[in-house]
Amino acid sequence: MNDSTNGISILGSTGSIGISTLDVVERHPQRFRVVALSAHRNVERMAEQCRRFSPAYAVMVDAAAADALRQALADMPRPPEVLSGPEALETVASLPEVDYVMAAIVGAAGMMSSLAAARAGKRLLLANKEALVVAGAILMRAAADNGATLLPIDSEHNAIFQCLPATYAQGLAASGVERILLTASGGPFRDAAPESLAAVTPEQACAHPNWSMGRKISVDSATMMNKGLELIEACWLFNTAPERIQVVVHRQSVIHSMVQYNDGSVLAQLGNPDMRTPIAHALGWPERISSGVEQLDLFRVAQLDFEPPAPERFPCLRLAYRAAADGGTAPVVLNAANEVAVAAFLDRRIGFTDIARVVERTMDRLPPEAVDLSGLGHVLEVDGRARAVAEQSVADGVC
Annotated binding site for Mn(2+): 154, 156, 230
* Known binding positions for NADPH: 14-17, 41-42, 128, 130, 214
* Known binding positions: 14-17, 41-42, 128-130, 154-156, 185, 208, 214, 221, 226-227, 230
CB 110 within 8 A of CB 84: no
Residue type at 90 in one-letter notation: E
Quick one: how far is CA 248 from the chain centroid? 19
The DSSP element (H or E) to which 73 belongs, if any, is none
| The dihedral formed by the CA atoms of 155, 159, 160 and 166, expressed in degrees to the nearest 10 | 130
* Known binding positions for 1-deoxy-D-xylulose 5-phosphate: 129, 155-156, 185, 208, 221, 226-227, 230
Instruction: Give CA–CA dist 332/338, Å, rounded.
Output: 10
> How many residues are recorded in the chain?
399
Instruction: Give CA–CA dist 143/169, Å, rounded.
Output: 13
CA dihedral (354, 359, 363, 365) positive or negative: positive
Instruction: Give CA–CA dist 66/83, Å, rounded.
Output: 7
C-alpha distances (whole Å) from 285 to each of 127, 371, 383 are 16, 32, 34
Nearest residue to 154 via CA among 240, 267, 214, 237: 237
